[in-house]
Amino acid sequence: MKDFIIVGGGLAGISFAETCFLNQKDFVLITETYGNATTVAGGVYNPVILKRLNLPMDAAAHMQFIMPFYTNIEQRLAVSFMHDIPVYRKFASVEEQNNWFQAADKPALEQFLDTEIKHASYEGLPSPHGFGRVIGTGYMDTALFLKEYYKFLDDQSKLSVEYFDYSELKLNPNSVSYKGIEARHIVFAEGFGLKNNPFFVYLPLNGTKGELLLIKAPGLKLDVIAKGNVFMIPLVNDIYKVGATYEWEDKTTLPTEKARAELIEKLEELINCPYEIIEQTAGIRPTVTDRKPLVGTHHTNNTIHLLNGLGTRGVMLGPPMAKHLFDSIENAVPVPKEVNLNRFKV
């Protein structure tokens, strides 16, 4: 008998799989697609919400937790998918500079906001008021991360790429079974796929569609993540990832002209050099109404569990939320009430 069946192959599912691996637990991960929202994500890890200049709950602790977590995977798989690179917030006015300094005086933020205005000169990226640098930031190459981790799981015979059929799941007194696989527990980490999950359909997960552009801008030569009304992540060969949009009504994963126009408008507010659009991608982020994750155990069956609702901060939230869930199942450590799914009544 296995310890866990994990359903879902995005950042949530893989974070839980890695947590199981580190704790010598036997598991299988079932995924229909290779991480829909994860593969099209920007992948930026940044502890500060730059729009409001505040810190999400436990962000400092999460930053300390994720770096060794991902570094360990990089070393074991002999691959580099984490890229340390500063985020430069473009100041649009002197008022924005003052807001930055006021925020940097707060004890929680002082370790993350550089108090020296950066007057870096980037051709094609005008910034008469300079930039504010966020400390300790970077981005994950999410597509490479998933590809390499799936290969690792496959080599260990712990991966099954197939549609998960809920009707095939059998609930036993102290275990579950699925198509001949018996396990002590099942963890659902399907992202927006939660909307089809009969065990947790009552939870208020309202996915937000996000779209990104991939552009080529040979004249730009950025060595930082530039942030205005959109972010620009420098990749390789003058390629940049630009995003993202937030759409609450459309739940398809098809790129739209509306989002393309919005991204182009915001991009051209940020840069003034020639560029070429190479690709446009879209995905659905698993966003909860109160913007906090959904972690915990089903209210009537202690073999069924959930790890979801990571929203736009999957890189930062995946590993610590996976640990919360694992510790609650294996060590009877309560999931923090702020992220515990039982904050929502059936």
Give the pLDDT confidence of 28-39 residue by residue, as tens digits. 999 987 545 666
Same-domain status, 216 and 276:
yes
CATH number for the domain spanning 58: value is 3.50.50.60
Longest dimension (CA), the chain: 66
Contact between 70 and 82 (Cβ < 8 Å): yes
C-alpha 73/C-alpha 191 separation (Å) is 22
Residue 262 predicted with pLDDT over 60: yes
Q: Is residue 275 part of a domain?
A: yes
Same-domain status, 28 and 121:
no
Residue 134 predicted with pLDDT over 90: yes
Among 240, 261, 285, which residue terminates a domain?
285
Same-domain status, 168 and 299:
yes
Q: Is residue 29 part of a domain?
A: yes
pLDDT, position 57: 86
Contact between 37 and 9 (Cβ < 8 Å): no
pLDDT, position 37: 61
* pLDDT band at residue 336 under the 50/70/90 scheme: very high
Same-domain status, 269 and 241:
yes
pLDDT digits (tens, 9 = 90+) for 271-296: 999 999 999 999 999 999 899 999 99
pLDDT, position 89: 96
In 58-84, which positions are buried (b, 16+ CB within 10 angstroms) versus exposed (e)? bbeebbeebbebbeebeeeeebebbbe
Q: Is residue 159 part of a domain?
A: yes
- Which SS3 state, helix, strand or coil, does residue 339 take? coil
Helices (H), 31-141: 36-39, 59-77, 94-104
Same-domain status, 296 and 199:
yes
Q: Is residue 78 part of a domain?
A: no
pLDDT digits (tens, 9 = 90+) for 54-94: 998 899 999 999 999 999 999 999 999 999 999 999 999 99
Q: Which range is least confidently modeled, 36-45, 46-55, 136-145, 334-343?
A: 36-45
Same-domain status, 254 and 234:
yes
Same-domain status, 58 and 169:
yes
Percent of the chain at pLDDT > 90 equals 89
C-alpha 60/C-alpha 48 separation (Å) is 9
Percent of the chain at pLDDT > 70 equals 98
Phi and psi at residue 266, to the nearest 5° = -70, -35
pLDDT, position 51: 86
Task: Supply the DSSP symbol for 173.
Answer: S
Q: Is residue 80 part of a domain?
A: no
pLDDT, position 345: 83
Peptide bond preceding 244 in cis form (omega within 30 of 0): yes
Q: Is residue 73 part of a domain?
A: no
pLDDT digits (tens, 9 = 90+) for 155-192: 999 999 999 999 999 999 999 999 999 999 999 999 99
Domain membership of residue 98 as a residue range: 87-135+208-285
The tally of domains found in the chain comes to 2
pLDDT, position 301: 96
223 contacts: CB under 8 Å, gap ≥ 6: 85, 234
Averaged over 211-224, what is the pLDDT? 94
Same-domain status, 304 and 279:
no
CATH number for the domain spanning 248: value is 3.30.9.10
Same-domain status, 146 and 275:
no
Same-domain status, 254 and 126:
yes
Q: What angle do CA 223, 35, 250 make, to 5 degrees?
A: 90
Contact between 150 and 254 (Cβ < 8 Å): no
* pLDDT band at residue 150 under the 50/70/90 scheme: very high
pLDDT, position 263: 97
